[in-house]
Amino acid sequence: MLDILIKHIEEVVSLTPEEAEFIVNHFKLKRYKKHQFIIQEGDKAIYHYFIISGLTKLVYLDQSGKEHIVSFAMEDWWESDFYAFYTGTPATLSLICLEDTTVLALNNADYFKLCQESPTMQRFFLEKANFGYLGMQRRVLSSLTLNAAQRYEQFLKQYPKLSNRIPKSQLAAYLGVSRETLSRLNL
């Protein structure tokens, strides 16, 4: 499974065999069951997760108990409550498995160690953070400017592999529409 991580990293930066060995020594393999919390609101978010297999959702629960889906993450994606991870504050988001999920977990101290001791990994994480920021910015803009049908079409174009794996009720919540509205969009 560590070879999947190295292959993923090498899609962005080149690694020597020594760098690859140094990197993999900082990750822990973890397995979770469907519906299990990886991060729960209020807990410390001490890990940055690379998903080997499975599917997760990152959610915010508002004061009325309504769940707002911030993002989904599947194989070859990174996920965490990044604000809590970087600041050391309690998580405001929960990371929940939609399928049995296997991850490689990188704790906060090892993340900063990798960035400090490996310019290659610092460059890799910067690249990933930049693309994550761009994706989130695109999502916010689509929520502000597109109607439900347009948001759904954008989701299908952007994430074709996800649409068949996500329950319709979850996809509706992510898009900010009711399940009935999503059904009217010819699903």
Edge-to-edge strand order for the sheet containing 47-53?
Answer: 27-32, 101-107, 47-53, 78-79
CA-CA distance, 101 to 33, in Å (whole number)?
6
Q: What is the mean predicted confidence (pLDDT) over 68-90?
A: 95
pLDDT of residue 2: 86
- In this structure, the number of other CB atoms found within 10 A of the CB of residue 162 comes to 16
Of 8-17, 69-78, 116-125, 133-142, which range is least confident?
Answer: 133-142
Q: Alpha carbon of 35 to those of 13, 76, 95, 101, 124: distances in Å? A: 34, 20, 10, 10, 31
Q: What is the mean predicted confidence (pLDDT) over 128-137?
A: 92
Q: What is the mean predicted confidence (pLDDT) over 102-130?
A: 96
Of 50-54, 80-84, 132-136, which range is least confident?
Answer: 132-136
Whether pTM exceeds 0.85? yes
Q: Are 59 and 68 in contact (CB under 8 A)?
A: yes
Asked if the 1-118 domain carries CATH number 2.60.120.10, the reply is: yes
CA-CA distance, 80 to 38, in Å (whole number)?
9
- In this structure, the number of other CB atoms found within 10 A of the CB of residue 133 comes to 10
Q: Is the pLDDT of residue 187 over 80?
A: no
Sorted by where each begins, the domain ranges of the chain are 1-118
Higher confidence at residue 169 or residue 33?
Answer: 33
pLDDT of residue 186: 62
Q: What is the mean predicted confidence (pLDDT) over 169-177?
A: 89
Of 38-47, 89-98, 136-145, which range is least confident?
Answer: 136-145
pLDDT of residue 184: 84
In percent, the amount of the chain with pLDDT more than 90 equals 78
CA-CA distance, 131 to 102, in Å (whole number)?
23
Q: Alpha carbon of 24 to those of 1, 20, 85: distances in Å? A: 10, 6, 20
Question: 179: pLDDT confidence band, cut at 50, 70 and 90?
Answer: confident
